[in-house]
Amino acid sequence: MSTATAEADLTVHTAEGPVRGRNTGTARVWRGIPYAQPPVGDLRLRLPQRPDPWQEVLDAGRYGPWAPQPLRRVLPGADAKTPMSEDCLTINVTAPPEAGEAPLPVLVFIHGGGFSTGSAAMELVDGARLAAAGNVLFVSMNYRLGALGFLDFRACSTPGRTFDVNVGLADQVAALEWVQRNIAAFGGDPGNVTLFGESAGATAALTLMCVPAADGLFHRTFLQSPAAAAAYGPDLASQWANEYLGLLGAGQDGAAKALAGLDAATLTRAAEELSSRIAPESRPGALSLAPVVDGSFLPLHPLQAFGDGRASSVPMVIGTMDNEGVLFDRLHNILPTSRDRIERMFDQTEPERRDRVIAAYRGYPHKKQAVELGGDAVFWYPSVQAAQAHAAHAPTWSYRFDYAPRAARAVGLGATHGLDLAAVFGNYDAGTGRMLLSMGNRRTARNVGHRFQSALLRFARTGAPGPMWPRYDRTSRRTKIFDRYDRIELDPRTVRRQAWDGYRGYR
């Protein structure tokens, strides 16, 4: 086949215009396709707008720019040549090496990074192996991060300049709308879309289940370590916006000018200061960069929507790592993993409930138990709340990922936050994946990863993760434990769950 013919075979006509991908040998890829207009100039901090159509063939061979984020926190294993820009609203499609005849299931991935870092270009979340292993289409997108995506500046609007809220979440809705318009042209089935993500990506996917504008755009969700309670009402969101403006040195009168006119790097530095220093100390356990319960785009707090049966009734798999908090205590220091922060986290809680929770962590306030408590507060217990609520209205499965390669155990991380990414993507030869296997356990790690990945792929194809994985319900709370040898446990950590029951955090 000639080069010209091969390129023609990789040219796809989308609703906006033609795009040409490339064949990497292991996958067919189309990268950096605009799914919305660049959110710059008058569109900064506004809801995304559908892109203008184009006539010439768009070269879709490279990832689009990373969203603006702190340079020192750019994650490893990423394409260092990919630039950083506010013009970041692009989407990527990865297909198996050979085209088939029947429409393929579609997996849409939302990357994590605390709503402040990350990119679809990270090597660890490359979807080529996933697409080939499952004969599926893999889709990923970049979306606005930090202050440009997840702070509420509506109060700063003026007659000449309007600011919207939840624009980062709205970007994800726009990307899902793009999938509905265009994925059939790539060989995908728009009626079979599985939305999945890890960390902030899973939090976003869970939240989108409660966003009316996203209803019908996806058909099941697979959620890895969501911070399910990380959405806040307008009062707390307004406090964070005011604290952020203070970091910019902008009073209310000059806020609109600062937000519209300052460069992205300045806005990003202030958001980093707010999210990594101020918020963890003043309100431990809350994430200042997060969705806002605004009453319209996001009408209810997600956990309330789940409890009321008003979340999307799609099948859901949800789970966490065995010890979520260790990674943050070691690297990012943003969770309530110390005695001082834990005490402040419970300031708004009845003393009896606080005492009951603390008593469930025998050995507290020693560091190990404090780290476990902080990780449970942000990740594990809210996931339990979401699972038990959703199970009353839709098929739900729960898991815990306990496996940790020898290298992770040797440095004291264990099965902590993010170590399931190499498993689900099959990317143990990527940067972080290579480190995890640097001390051996290759065969075991790959076997565990294969079982985890297979559950996702089976879920995407059939709507259930497998016959050996029973549904979750509020009575038995059957949970799959992924480890060297998988097992089903009934109501894992019963004592801790009962101790946390009734805790509402910052809601």
Q: Concatenated DSSP letters for 467-498?
A: TTSPPP-TTT-EEEEESSS-EEEESTTHHHHH
Residues 278 and 347 occupy one common structural domain: no
CATH number for the domain that contains residue 424? 3.40.50.1820
Residues 265 and 413 occupy one common structural domain: no
How far apart CA 77 and CA 67 sit, in angstroms, is: 16
Residues 27 and 162 occupy one common structural domain: yes
Domain annotation covers residue 142: yes
Q: What are the backbone angles phi and psi of residue 429, rounded to the nearest 5°? A: -100, 5
Residues 260 and 285 occupy one common structural domain: yes
Residues 436 and 497 occupy one common structural domain: yes
Q: If you write DSSP's letter for every residue of 223-264 in order, what string do you get?
A: EES--TT--B-HHHHHHHHHHHHHHHT--GGGHHHHHHHS-H
Question: Which residues form the catalytic set?
Answer: 199, 324, 417
What is the per-residue pLDDT for 74?
46
Domain boundary among 283, 314, 345: 314
Q: What are the backbone angles phi and psi of residue 259, rounded to the nearest 5°? A: -65, -35
How far apart CA 240 and CA 411 sit, in angstroms, is: 35
Tell me the whole-structure pTM to 2 decimals: 0.96
Residue ranges with strand state E in 289-379? 316-321
Domain annotation covers residue 88: yes
Q: For 345-403, write each residue's pLDDT tens digit.
A: 999 899 999 999 999 999 999 999 999 999 999 999 999 999 999 999 999 999 999 99
Tokens of 277: 């220093």
Q: If you write DSSP's letter for every residue of 39-69 in order, what string do you get?
A: --GGGTTS---PPPP--SPEE-BSPPPBPS-
Domain annotation covers residue 77: yes
Residues 7 and 93 occupy one common structural domain: yes
How far apart CA 394 and CA 240 sit, in angstroms, is: 35
Residues 246 and 112 occupy one common structural domain: yes
Tokens of 129: 């192996």
Domain annotation covers residue 321: no
Residues of the chain with pLDDT under 70: 1-8, 71-81, 430-440
Residues 333 and 443 occupy one common structural domain: yes
Tokens of 287: 């994430």
Domain boundary among 285, 314, 343: 314
Domain annotation covers residue 319: no
Domain annotation covers residue 322: no
Number of domains in the chain: 2
Residues 304 and 376 occupy one common structural domain: no
How far apart CA 71 and CA 75 sit, in angstroms, is: 9
Domain annotation covers residue 61: yes
User: What is the DSSP-derived secondary structure letter of residue 465?
Assistant: S
Domain, as residue range, for 411? 327-389+399-507
How far apart CA 375 and CA 341 sit, in angstroms, is: 12
Residues 178 and 71 occupy one common structural domain: yes
Domain boundary among 252, 279, 314: 314
Residues 340 and 269 occupy one common structural domain: no
Domain annotation covers residue 373: yes
What is the per-residue pLDDT for 229?
97
Residues 193 and 288 occupy one common structural domain: yes
